[in-house]
Amino acid sequence: MTVTIRDVAERAGVAVGTVSRYLNGYQLREKNRVKVEQAIQELGFKENVIAKSLKRNRSMTIAVVIPNYLTLFFMAVTKMLEQILEGYSYSLLLCDFDHDPTILQDKLRFVKDRFVDGLILFPSNIAEKNLVMLQEFLNDAIPVVLIEQPLPGIETDVIMVDNAHASFRAVEQLILHNHRRIALVNGKEEVYVFGERLRGYREAMRTYNLPVDEGWIVSEWFSEAGEYTAIKSLFTSPPHPTAIYATHLHATIGTVMALHKLHLRIPEDVSLIGFDSFDMLDAIEPPLTLVEQPIEQIATDAATLIIRRIRGDDDDFPHTITLNTTMLMRDSVLTL
Partner DNA sequence: TTGTAAGCGTTATCAT
Partner DNA sequence: ATGATAACGCTTACAA
> Shortest distance, CB of residue 110 to DNA, whole angstroms?
16
Residue partners of 88: CB distance under 8 A and separation at least 6: 303, 307
92 touches a copy of itself by CB under 8 A: yes
Judge contact between 302 and 80, C-beta under 8 A: no
54 touches DNA by CB under 7 A: yes
> Shortest distance, CB of residue 1 to DNA, whole angstroms?
7
> Shortest distance, CB of residue 148 to a copy of itself, whole angstroms?
18
Binding residues for a copy of itself, how many (CB under 8 A)? Answer: 47
Amino acid at 186: N
Q: What are the C-alpha distances in Å from 5 to residues 24, 130, 203?
A: 12, 42, 64
Q: Whose Cβ is closer to DNA: residue 25's or residue 152's?
A: 25
Judge contact between 70 and 98, C-beta under 8 A: no
Judge contact between 281 and 253, C-beta under 8 A: yes
Q: What are the C-alpha distances in Å from 181 to residues 18, 153, 205, 323?
A: 74, 39, 9, 29
- In the shown chain, the binding pattern of residues 14 to 43 toward DNA, with x for contact by CB under 7 A and - for none, equals xxxxx-xx-xx-xxxx-xx-----------
Judge contact between 18 and 35, C-beta under 8 A: no
> Shortest distance, CB of residue 120 to DNA, whole angstroms?
25
- Angstrom distance (rounded) from CA 228 to CA 255: 8
The window from 50-58, 153-161, 305-313, 326-334 that contacts a copy of itself (CB under 8 A) reads 50-58
Give the residue from 49, 187, 36 showing the smallest Cα distance to 124.
187
55 touches DNA by CB under 7 A: yes
Judged by DSSP in three states, 272 sits in strand
> Shortest distance, CB of residue 326 to DNA, whole angstroms?
44
Residues in the chain: 336
> Which position among 79, 177, 199, 202 is part of the footprint of a copy of itself (CB under 8 A)?
79
Binding site for a copy of itself (CB under 8 A): 46, 48-51, 53-54, 59, 69-70, 72, 75-76, 78-79, 82, 86, 91-96, 110, 113-115, 222-223, 225, 227-228, 250, 253-254, 256-258, 260-261, 278-280, 282-285
Binding site for DNA (CB under 7 A): 2, 4-6, 13-18, 20-21, 23-24, 26-29, 31-32, 45-48, 51-52, 54-57
